[in-house]
A and B are shown apart, each in its own frame.
Chain A
Amino acid sequence: MAQDAAQGVTGRGFDRPGEVPGWVGYALLPLLNLLAALVLSGLVILVIGENPLDVLALLVTEAVGYPEAIGYTLYYTTSYIFTGLAVAIAFHCGLFNIGGEGQAYLGGLGAGLVGLALTGWPWPVAALGAVALSALFGAAWAAVPGWLQAKRGSHIVITTIMFNFIAAAIMTYLLVDVLIRPGSQSPETREFDPGVWLPTMDRALGWLGVAIPASPLNLSFLWALACCALFYLFLWRTRWGYEIRTVGRNERAAVYAGISPARNIILAMAISGALAGFVGVNEIMGVQHRILLNFTGGVGFVGIAVALMGRNHPVGIVLAALLFGVLAQGGGQVSFEYPTVNRELVMVIQGLVILFAGALENLFKPQVEALFRRRGGGAAHG
């Protein structure tokens, strides 16, 4: 019995059937971590002199309280699904891809080049082209760090950080010196031909006779959901997915089973980069309709939080992306209503969620497990 308790403390509990129910691991503990992050965020709100409950209520209302707000929330959610999936597939291969930001940025370049090149074409062609080229650009930008890790032993975390900075520098150069709209002062390209814009959801549903309020939410939301399904099928139903997960679990065992870690590391990073690149489709083809500076605004980093909260599973990722979408939309609106609150409050909450859901994921595990074991033990003996 004492030995059991000791094992529980060191974190073996989840592998033992019948002792701690599975939902504790994938639902209760993440919720506790989220709660801890929210409580601390509430303290920050108290420190800046507002009532946390009022702020929270307003935040939720402004994010999901009326149809137009929901559209905005889902528009943020779309990008977070892409970057969450991107971080997750790398995680499954045992890699930590911090480069989502740079990959999304270059993905936007790919989508944008299609938008600039195609004028007078039907939008479905442009959409397909943008999906293909943003995937290609994002994948290429991520595959290089993957290759460097697999073949040259560079540390992927460091190289992807460096690649974020290099991507930012390249994009600034391109937008300031090469792609800039002639005669313009601000570093951005000309607007694409409206015919190739990715239709917004209200327009698309309008064709079906369904009327919803206008918002930036566009068809790439459906593509994000499709990517979730494809992600699941690929990772758990194909041989390639199996190989990637095997390398992530135990590289030496993978080698023993005839699976090449190097090949799978590069593959996983390329897919990861392609997924992050789709942010460009949502932002550039769906909303901005031009390439501009810093349109990513931290989505790559939010993806880390989304993947951690969502336990690297597509269903979890959709839910976590929704949560962060609510925060992004609601948080932005709250800053209009409260003079002391600004947009960056959302980053505080994101940071705390990453801290508790990621780095301190086992903070409450011993206590919760002990609680269940005591109850379970009590029932067995009583």
Chain B
Amino acid sequence: MDDALLVALLLTDATIRVATPLVLAAFAALYSERAGVVDIGLEGKMLAGAFFAAAVASSTGNPWLGLGAAVAASVALALVHGFACITHKGNQVVSGMAINILVAGLAPTLAYAWFRQGGQTPLLPGEARLPQVRLPGVEALSAIPVLGPVYRELIDDANVLIWLTVLLVVATHWVFTRSRFGLRLRAVGENPSAVDTAGLSVTRLRYQAVIITGVLTGIAGAYLSTAHGAGFVRDMTAGKGYLALAALIFGKWRPWPTLFACLLFAFTDAVQVRLQGVPLPVVGVIPVQFIQMLPYVLTVLLLAGFVGRAVAPRASGVPYVKER
């Protein structure tokens, strides 16, 4: 009984830790795409965040400065995306792709030149990493069955960014359903000309949205290199930006379903690690690769309408041209 509970708790714990950067990135894209700017550059912005967080944390010893650098770098890239897509009405997919390729080259190039460690940053010591939040009462509660282990494994010692992500989810729900800003963002992604007619600036709203995207992807990157990991390594995002995009689509561009999609994808990852080489009844050993491709297959099936319909914000991907 206790063993089963422990396995379940460890799986949940792993799921949360893997899900955090996904949630941050998927919610980042949520803001951008609900405002009508398609963002496949999540991967690049996260990678830039991861690199600058680790680089600055490594040279100053202060993870918070690293977090700030990550956000700054990621916002800068978001502004490039905005400049191309909003101001110059360029192709949003091409711009996102360019950012991904640019950063995939830039991060290891800078890492190589600055740290001379084969495209990595040095391993960060404990104090240069973002801290975990210790909560009181672990000892007092540990005697209680079920609640004690749950509290110890899941709630206590969670990284500060995990808490931030929880806050973000709640705040995003509020922004999109209750706040004036959120309603305007949604409107600008569905019908920009109506927003324009109402006397609001489409350009301004969309820039605000991509800046929020930049902030969140920067935090997601910092999580990878200074909270979950202990330094930047080449390709450390490893497709997480695209997976977050898949989660956003799987969540049909809505906050709660997107959160659950992220948790689902993270759970398959956690399960896959535990299932490696373990024979299952009936099917035998499932090759790891098939579990790894599951989120992508699910997204394809969803988009094809085989598991419900995912309808993108109507104006997403379309630059707004003010009528003359």
Interface residues of A (CB under 8 A from B): 10, 44, 47-49, 96, 98, 148, 152-155, 157-159, 161-163, 165-166, 169-170, 172-173, 176-177, 298, 301, 304-305, 308, 339-342, 344-352, 354-355, 358-363
When the two chains form their complex, are residues B101 and A342 in contact, meaning their CB atoms are under 8 A apart? Answer: no
Q: Which residues of A contact B108 (CB under 8 A)?
A: 342, 344
28 contacts between A and B (CB under 8 A): A48-B113, A98-B93, A98-B97, A148-B304, A157-B40, A158-B249, A159-B300, A161-B242, A161-B245, A162-B299, A165-B242, A165-B293, A166-B293, A173-B289, A176-B287, A177-B287, A308-B94, A344-B109, A345-B105, A346-B105, A351-B99, A355-B95, A355-B98, A355-B102, A358-B90, A358-B91, A358-B94, A359-B94
Q: Which residues of B contact A166 (CB under 8 A)?
A: 293, 296-297, 300
Given contacts A158-B249, A347-B105, A351-B100, 19 further A-B contacts (CB under 8 A): A96-B93, A152-B304, A152-B305, A154-B300, A154-B304, A159-B300, A165-B239, A165-B242, A165-B296, A166-B297, A170-B289, A170-B293, A173-B287, A301-B97, A344-B119, A351-B98, A358-B95, A358-B98, A359-B92
When the two chains form their complex, are residues B101 and A347 in contact, meaning their CB atoms are under 8 A apart? Answer: yes
Interface residues on B, range: 35 or more
B264 on the interface (CB 8 Å rule)? no
Measured CB to CB, the closest approach of chain A to B94, in angstroms, equals 4
When the two chains form their complex, are residues A48 and B109 in contact, meaning their CB atoms are under 8 A apart? Answer: yes
* Complex CA–CA separation, A354 to B40 (angstroms): 14
Measured CB to CB, the closest approach of chain A to B109, in angstroms, equals 5
Measured CB to CB, the closest approach of chain B to A19, in angstroms, equals 20
Q: Given that A158-B249, A162-B300, A166-B297 are contacting pairs, would A354 and B98 also be in contact in the complex, using a CB cutoff of 8 Å?
A: yes
Q: Which residues of A contact B290 (CB under 8 A)?
A: 169, 173
Render B76-102 as a binary contact track against A, CB cut-off 8 A, 1 for contact.
Answer: 000010011100111111110111111
Interface residues of B (CB under 8 A from A): 40, 80, 83-85, 88-95, 97-106, 108-110, 112-114, 116, 119, 239, 242, 245-246, 249, 287, 289-290, 292-293, 296-297, 299-300, 303-305, 312, 324
* Complex CA–CA separation, A361 to B119 (angstroms): 32
- Interface SS of chain B: helix
Cross-interface CB contact of B40 among A48, A153, A161, cutoff 8 Å: A161
